[in-house]
Amino acid sequence: MRNYVHRLLAALVVCACFTATMAQDVVHPEDKPVDMDNPTFVPLVKVGKVLEGGDSIQYMEMNNVYVFPKKTFTSAKAKKKYDRMVYNVKRVLPLAKEARAVMIETYEYIQTLPSKKERDAHLKYVEKSVKKEYTPRIKKLTFSQGKILIKLIYRECNSTSYDIIKAFLGPLRATFWQAFASMFGASLKKDFDPNNEEDRETERIVLLVEAGQL
């Protein structure tokens, strides 16, 4: 069963349309130990200057800074659950952002191809390359992390994993992967709504991680 779970998690990367062009010496996010005491992303601090009326005015650009009420926990179990969520988000959020960047790049590239035949051939090549390159990477994730990845892909791409597969690979492939996911209690049709109770906590964690505060 573990092998099937790994195959499912590999499918999540297919839905994000990753390419296999990463250099071999690159250290992937999932290979790095999660540091719970330091930011996952480096906070942005950019210093520049503009000319205004003949005067040079310096400015500083930085990330949003989020201030939330201090977290309190009713039990040690609740604290452990929260810490696990932080750990999982810090591990898979870089993958979701990578998915968004490469999906956009793939979409823009296939728009330059003159025929449907060439576009279909390129997407088949991408899918084949993805399976070869990313299956070993996705095997390093737990099933819980894979389910979070589905939601964060929606957050980054504003589309469900199911719809992304459908758009790139067609409805039959999307239906197949959705049926496969449902066998293990997952759904590629999961969306992400930061206003509902289920996703509100995750959104708070994501914002803090993105801003370099967590």
Q: What is the rounded CA–CA span in Å between residue 96 and residue 157?
A: 9
Specify the higher pLDDT residue, 208 or 159: 208
Task: Determine if the pTM surpasses 0.85.
Answer: no
DSSP H or E segment with residue 52: strand 45-52
Residue 18: predicted pLDDT: 39
Identify residue 59 by its one-letter amino acid code: Y
Q: What is the pLDDT of residue 26?
A: 62
Tell me the mean pLDDT in the region 159-174: 79
Q: Give yes or no for residue 213 having a pLDDT over 70.
A: yes
Over residues 178-182, the mean pLDDT reads 75
- Write out pLDDT tens, residues 103-148: 787 788 888 888 988 888 888 887 777 677 667 777 788 888 888 8
Grouping H, G, I as helix, E, B as strand and the rest as coil, residue 208 is helix
Exposed/middle/buried for residue 87 (C-beta within 10 Å: 0-12, 13-18, 19+): middle
pLDDT in tens, 76-108: 999 999 999 999 999 989 888 887 877 787 788
| Model pLDDT for residues 57-72, shown as the tens digit of each residue | 888 788 788 889 888 9
Q: Look at residue 8 and tell me whether its pLDDT is greater than 60.
A: no
